[in-house]
């Protein structure tokens, strides 16, 4: 009942005029106290003169406080700016009283009610500042104490005693519903260790041990350091998780709402925070012009990459956005997401890129000017068993959409490729490399500019290693890794889609854009990090099992093929791969022959045709290695 009443009270705010009356009353009381102090706490002054001056002082006080707007503040959220306003208001009041006193002595004589002793005015000024601020802070503290007494409180530490740490502290202190109580700061700077900030002590990370945590009942640590090195972040989180603490992180300052941090923005550390490199951010004002009033079509729009591309495009002033995919359930989910956001001019179409006449019908109806081709089969082991399907979608589907794009004079066609297309060791990668070759062959054959983007694994995408590890952790393990030394380049879904959108704006046709994604990440290390992020220990709580390489799987991925090098673009993280010369007529002839194969064709014959097109395709841990031995 009490909690319900407090919640009801917490949603109400005092009238600003009531706050003004309260402040003016304090000024009046302080005026009497100033007289007492001036006369050594004896009533040796003319009471009648004081009574005559009191209304005049309170009226001037009201004018001063209204001028600075201090009465408009919410008392329970009193902050630094409110305190500054009170100080300014008190000084305006003192200045006006001094001015009126000077004028009254000059023109009205000593007995005027406007004639107030200068010492009393200065004493009054100091008392006003002290008691007006003190009253506000007392009410704020009392409110916080009462509300906190009736909700569960979690004791937290803030890692970082710098500017970001102080802003985090202020955000927690000003949010009475956060349920958090800051009991200490942690900092690497030895000069800060042992000192106090707002009466809260700064500790060294080594002082945070099991005894300290138990003594202070610590539950969470909030990391509040802007631009923290990911390796250092991993080290910190590892130490804190080993102590049974939950770890949260403050987002980058550019993502704060209106430049202010709220407690709701403080999130638990995620695996993408530990990529080993800074997040890649691309800000290009030309993108708005690229997509302004354009009809844009995305194939594979229900997939992880395709749907995120659609989300990012939806932020621009497009004319119409067409979502094409044959996965109708996933496509329905994306459609509902956009409908709930109230987005208009979005059409969702169930269609297969292998059906050329159907794709042609869609292009003829909507006349798209920009096409993002994300439709593809991507799972290496599955495509190793089904090369016909890989050829049909990854090559045939790309060929259909690209040919139709030329037919309908699309401005730009952006192919979403993969680092597995580089010196491929599996069917999936080889078919994506052939897709790259085909769009390269179309350069200059029409109005359409063909652009390829090539990047590594995407964190959190459908079927990727992160969701797999999460499921395995939920089941109690073990986590399965195919090889202890296997490494992959990683990026987040937003990073991948930023690259795709930037490539569309940057490309002039014929380029293969690759990302500088930093150092590759060992999957074994990723697995151990995820165990740690789950608050568990390796191998005590969850083990990691080495299962052996899957058919067609590489130990190390590459971003550039043999004979390729790169040239820089205006963005330091984006490069253009300089591809070797391609015999266009021969390549086109072989691709046409390959896509003409029917489902009765033997897998060995299909893969043999693929290898004839891609001489650098050497199978690894696969039944197709027999074809390499014949070379």
| Interior/surface letters 300-332, b for 16+ CB within 10 angstroms, e for the rest | bbbbbbbbbbbbbbbebebebbbbbbbbeebbe
Whether the CA torsion 412, 283, 437, 584 is positive or negative: it is positive
**538, 475 contact by CB (below 8 A):** no
| Encoded tokens for 423 | 């010196």
CA nearest neighbour of 607 among 395, 400, 345, 450: 395
Helices 427-441 and 584-595 cross at an angle (nearest 10°) of 130
Catalytic residue positions, numbered:
420
| Sign of the dihedral through C-alpha 552, 555, 559, 565 | negative
* SS3 letters across 100-131: HHHHHHHHCCCCCCCCCCHHHHHHHHHHHHHH
Give the span between the Cα atoms of 387 and 427, in whole angstroms.
Answer: 6
**b/e sequence 367-391, b meaning 16+ C-beta within 10 Å:** ebbbbbbbbbbbebeebbebbbbbb
Cα–Cα distance for residue pair 233/274, rounded to 1 Å = 7
Q: Which of 614, 564, 563, 565 is nearest to 587 (CA)?
A: 614
8 A C-beta contact, residue 363 and residue 405: yes
| The two structure tokens encoding residue 565 | 């090098």
Dist CA 69 CA 83 (whole Å): 12
Residues belonging to the chain: 631
Q: Identify whether 96 is preceded by a cis peptide bond (ω within 30 of 0).
A: no
Displacement of CA 373 from its chain's centroid (Å): 26
Q: What pairing do the DSSP bridges indicate for beta strands 267-268 and 246-249? A: antiparallel
Report d(CA 403, CA 19) in Å as an integer: 72
The beta-strand segments (E) located in 187-244 are 196-197, 200-203, 218-223
The C-alpha angle 252, 258, 262, rounded to 5 degrees, equals 65
Cβ-contact 75, 136 below 8 angstroms: yes
């Amino acid at each position: 009942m009490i909690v319900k009443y407090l919640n009801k009270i917490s949603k109400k705010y005092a009238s600003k005029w009531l706050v003004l009356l309260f402040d003016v009353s304090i000024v009046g009381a302080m005026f009497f106290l100033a007289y007492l102090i001036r006369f050594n706490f004896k009533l040796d002054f003319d009471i009648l003169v004081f009574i005559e001056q009191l209304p005049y002082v309170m009226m001037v006080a009201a004018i001063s406080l209204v001028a600075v707007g201090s009465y408009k503040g919410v008392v329970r959220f009193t902050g630094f700016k409110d305190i500054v306003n009170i100080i300014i208001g008190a000084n305006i009041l003192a200045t006006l009283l001094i001015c009126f006193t000077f004028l009254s002595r000059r023109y009205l004589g000593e007995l005027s009610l406007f004639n107030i002793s200068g010492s009393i005015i200065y004493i009054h000024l100091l008392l006003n500042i002290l008691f007006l601020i003190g009253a506000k802070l007392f009410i704020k503290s009392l409110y916080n104490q009462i509300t906190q007494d009736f909700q569960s409180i979690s004791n937290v530490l803030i890692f970082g005693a710098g500017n970001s740490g102080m802003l985090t502290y202020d955000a927690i202190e000003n949010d009475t519903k956060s349920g958090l109580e800051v009991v200490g700061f942690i900092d690497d700077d030895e000069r800060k260790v042992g000192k106090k900030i707002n009466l809260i002590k700064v500790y060294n990370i080594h002082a945070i041990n099991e005894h300290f945590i138990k003594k202070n009942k610590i539950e969470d640590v909030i990391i509040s350091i802007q631009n923290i090195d990911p390796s250092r972040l991993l080290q910190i989180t590892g130490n804190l998780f080993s102590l049974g603490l939950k770890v949260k992180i403050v987002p980058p300052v550019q993502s704060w709402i209106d430049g202010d941090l709220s407690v709701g923005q403080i999130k638990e550390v995620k695996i993408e925070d530990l990529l080993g490199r800074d997040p890649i951010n691309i800000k290009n004002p030309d993108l708005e012009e690229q997509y302004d009033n354009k009809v844009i079509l995305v194939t594979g729009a229900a997939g992880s990459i395709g749907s995120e591309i659609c989300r990012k495009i939806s932020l621009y002033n497009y004319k119409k956005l067409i979502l094409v995919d044959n996965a109708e359930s996933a496509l329905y989910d994306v459609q509902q997401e956009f409908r709930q956001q109230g987005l208009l001019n979005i059409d969702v179409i169930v269609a297969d890129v292998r059906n050329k006449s159907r794709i042609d019908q869609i292009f003829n109806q909507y006349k798209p000017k920009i096409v993002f081709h994300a439709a593809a089969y991507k799972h290496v082991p599955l495509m190793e068993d089904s090369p016909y399907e890989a050829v049909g979608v990854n090559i045939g589907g790309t060929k259909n959409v690209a040919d139709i794009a030329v037919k309908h004079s699309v401005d730009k066609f952006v192919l979403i490729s993969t680092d597995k297309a580089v010196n491929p060791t599996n069917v999936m990668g080889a078919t994506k490399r052939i897709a790259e070759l085909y769009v390269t062959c179309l350069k200059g054959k029409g109005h359409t500019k063909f652009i390829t983007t090539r990047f590594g694994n995407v964190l959190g995408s459908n079927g990727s290693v992160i969701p797999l590890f999460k499921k395995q952790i939920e089941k109690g393990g073990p986590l399965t890794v195919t090889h202890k030394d296997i490494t992959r380049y990683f990026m987040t879904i937003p990073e991948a889609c930023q690259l795709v959108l930037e490539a569309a704006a940057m490309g002039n046709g014929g380029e293969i854009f690759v990302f500088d994604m930093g150092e590759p990440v060992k999957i074994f290390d990723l697995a151990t990090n995820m165990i740690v992020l789950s608050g568990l220990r390796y191998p005590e709580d969850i083990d990691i099992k080495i299962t052996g390489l899957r058919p067609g799987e590489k130990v190390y991925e590459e971003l550039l093929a043999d004979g390729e090098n790169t040239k820089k673009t205006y963005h330091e993280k984006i490069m253009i791969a300089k591809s070797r010369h391609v015999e266009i007529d021969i390549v086109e002839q072989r691709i046409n022959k390959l896509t003409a194969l029917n489902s009765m064709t033997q897998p060995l014959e299909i893969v043999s045709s693929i290898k004839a097109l891609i001489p650098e395709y050497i199978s690894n841990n696969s039944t197709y290695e027999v074809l390499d031995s014949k070379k």
